[in-house]
Structure 1
Amino acid sequence: MLRLAYLGPPGTFTEEAALRYAEREPAELIAFGSMPALVSAVETGLADRAILPIENSLEGTVSTTVDLLIHETDLKICAELILPVRHFLLAHPGTRLEEIRVVLSHPQALGQCRRFLERCLPHAEQVAALSTAAAVAEVMRSDDRSRAAIGTLRAAELYGAAVLARDIQDQKSNATRFVVLALEDAEPTGVDRTSLCFTVKRNVPGALVEVLNELAVAQIQMTKVESRPMKSVLGEYVFLVDIEGHRKDPHIAAALQRMAEKAAEIKIFGSYPRDEDGLNGTRALRD
């Protein structure tokens, strides 16, 4: 059976994504304490694949995952999964909202619930945790009723927390895109996405446009482009791009080759099936 690593403890959104992915392919779920540990688990054979969040519709790119792909690993993206995100304010049973003075959660969750926190708990201190589930577990281990956590409904059930407020995310269509990492990416399906990054040559005017123009010339749809600091010298960036199609499609392969000739460096994160069902589901929530 497939061994699938996810960010624990049980009750995280990543576990929810892992459970959803296991509906596609039966898997044994193995919890790890950090996202770098997930990558190491696959690299060392402790797991066959790992599932990590890479992008949220409200907060944007998950920098830890992207930086791992850019700088730390040669694992490939073999699948994606788009999951609607619902946030709940959780605390000890019997706790009233006006008692809350501290709110714990993962930084992404705190950011996704910014409006609720500003309006309903403007004086509460916001404390970052390693995961939403870890925040719920910490709150429930303490007898301090002035503390609450933002987490999932599953976390509430697992740790015995009460729901003080539900669906507190800023947008009801809030969704997170997860990627599955493995030693190899996926074979073409006809409905694929390819993710990559590249750097441009120094002191060359229009260098970025020259690289990206190869996609336009080949009529390849670009669905995402953004920059990240190189973490070496101030002012130097790596550019992240998602395109429709598979790296083995002839026109994609040719365009990527031309991009490589014009870029300083290029790295293909992988080609994988697009989660059209997940994307359509989040659009339905918005509409």
Structure 2
Amino acid sequence: MATQAMQTMRRIGFLGPRGTFSEVALRSRPESEHAEAVPYLSVDAALGALRSGEVDAAVVPIENSVEGGVPATLDSLAHGDPLRVVGEMIVPVTFVLAARPDTAFADVRAVSTHPHAWAQVRAFVARELPTARYVPASSTAASAVDLAGGADTWHEATAYQAAVCHEMVARDHGLTVLAHDIGDNTEAVTRFVLVARPGPVPAPTGSDKTTVVLFQKIDYPGGLLGLLEQFAVRGINLTRLESRPTGESLGQYCFSIDLEGHLHEARVTEALMGLHRVCAQVRFLGSYPKADASAVTVSPAHADRAYEQARQWRESLESFESFESPER
């Protein structure tokens, strides 16, 4: 982001409590050096604080390499007052099984963590704790914090004896690590996004991603294919495509999409204009630099120069100057 925009981020919210992977993602951003980090107990709370002006930006998880998109984030970005994604971060995720110091491995009858973390340790639990039940938590850190909170916050009705979390959180809250590196996939990562209120779109870098949400006017056979063709004919690669219920009625879905490219590129602009013609709504969620900084490959036929040459050729038809396509 531009330096001026970074300086305006004085308070940045994140999915808390302290010690979540969302905070790790936030700390990796240069904006965090000049901003107060404010934890919130849910994605909706963090993005709600952003919409209300309580914070200037928010960091939330949007996608996991094992479990896919994060529904709370996808749904909150698709509805409500518009927000813009201005950056993304990729964080490797490693988990430990943590418990109170007086708890032995054999004492664990229930385990708590975030649903996406639970999906990433299922094989470990099935092998080592086959009879343990699962207790959902709002975040990995929340499960550890509540477990360490003592009798005032720990109730037998929702009791669990262990939490799946980051080792740092376990140590910070006085928990004992019963097992290290318990993830089923050692290469697992989670993608986080830095979200702000709408503002100027930053200039393209050549390594950019754009996020949109598409709402169909009507559901019909081949409807999704028609939307995807807008990208295909312009040589645009999609890196994520997920359907989410709109909440209006059963069978009504919108499509959350990440694509390679930037709004200021002709091929992306024309694709979004084409979608605007055929969709009930196109929600633009931002163009921003890719976390891995890898260059986006664009064929000559879909480069900005090709679109400009086509426009010039079209204009020449009106003046009868030429009926030939310009040489490439």
Q: Any idea what SS the aligned residue of 1:199 has?
A: strand
Which stretch has the larger CA shift, 233-242 or 93-102? 93-102
- Using the alignment, how far apart are the partners of 1:129 and 1:204 within structure 2? 38
- Cα deviation digits, residues 61-112 of structure 1 (max 9, x gap): 1000000011123010000001000011011235321121111111221121
> Does 2:272 match 1:264?
no
> Does 2:177 match 1:169?
no
Q: Which residue pairs with 1:284 in the alignment?
A: none
| TM alignment of 1:1-287, pairs within 5 A | 2=9, 3-22=11-30, 26-93=34-101, 95-142=103-150, 147-183=161-197, 184=199, 185-202=201-218, 204-276=220-292
Conservation of the 8 A alpha-carbon contact between 1:105 and 1:127:
yes
RMSD over aligned CA atoms reads: 2.0
Give the AA of the match of 1:168: I
- Cα deviation digits, residues 215-244 of structure 1 (max 9, x gap): 111111111112111211111211121110
- Cα deviation digits, residues 186-214 of structure 1 (max 9, x gap): 43222100011112232544222122111
Give the AA of the match of 1:14: S
Q: Which has the larger radius of gyration?
A: 2
Per the TM alignment, residue 162 of structure 1 is displaced from its structure 2 partner at its CA by 1.3
- Using the alignment, how far apart are the partners of 1:228 and 1:23 within structure 2? 31
Q: Specify which structure has the bigger relative contact order, considering alpha-carbon pairs within 8 angstroms and separated by 6 or more residues.
A: 1
- Using the alignment, how far apart are the partners of 1:66 and 1:273 within structure 2? 19
Give the ranges of 4+ consecutive aligned residues of structure 1 lying more than 6 Å apart after TM superposition.
143-146
Specify which structure has the higher proportion of strand: 1
Give the AA of the match of 1:275: A
Q: Any idea what SS the aligned residue of 1:116 has?
A: helix
- Using the alignment, how far apart are the partners of 2:236 and 2:210 within structure 1? 11
Conservation of the 8 A alpha-carbon contact between 2:112 and 2:160:
no
Unmatched runs of 5 consecutive residues or more in structure 1 = 279-287
- Using the alignment, how far apart are the partners of 2:266 and 2:214 within structure 1? 20
Give the AA of the match of 1:229: P
Give the AA of the match of 2:195: L
Give the AA of the match of 1:109: A
**Cα distance change, pair 9–172 in 1 and its aligned pair in 2 (3 A):** same
Give the AA of the match of 2:196: A
Per the TM alignment, residue 121 of structure 1 is displaced from its structure 2 partner at its CA by 0.6
- Using the alignment, how far apart are the partners of 1:124 and 1:33 within structure 2? 25
Conservation of the 8 A alpha-carbon contact between 2:50 and 2:58:
yes
- Using the alignment, how far apart are the partners of 1:253 and 1:25 within structure 2? 34
Q: Percent identity?
A: 38
Conservation of the 8 A alpha-carbon contact between 1:88 and 1:153:
yes
- Using the alignment, how far apart are the partners of 2:160 and 2:283 within structure 1? 48
Conservation of the 8 A alpha-carbon contact between 2:110 and 2:133:
yes
Give the AA of the match of 1:256: L
Conservation of the 8 A alpha-carbon contact between 1:80 and 1:275:
yes
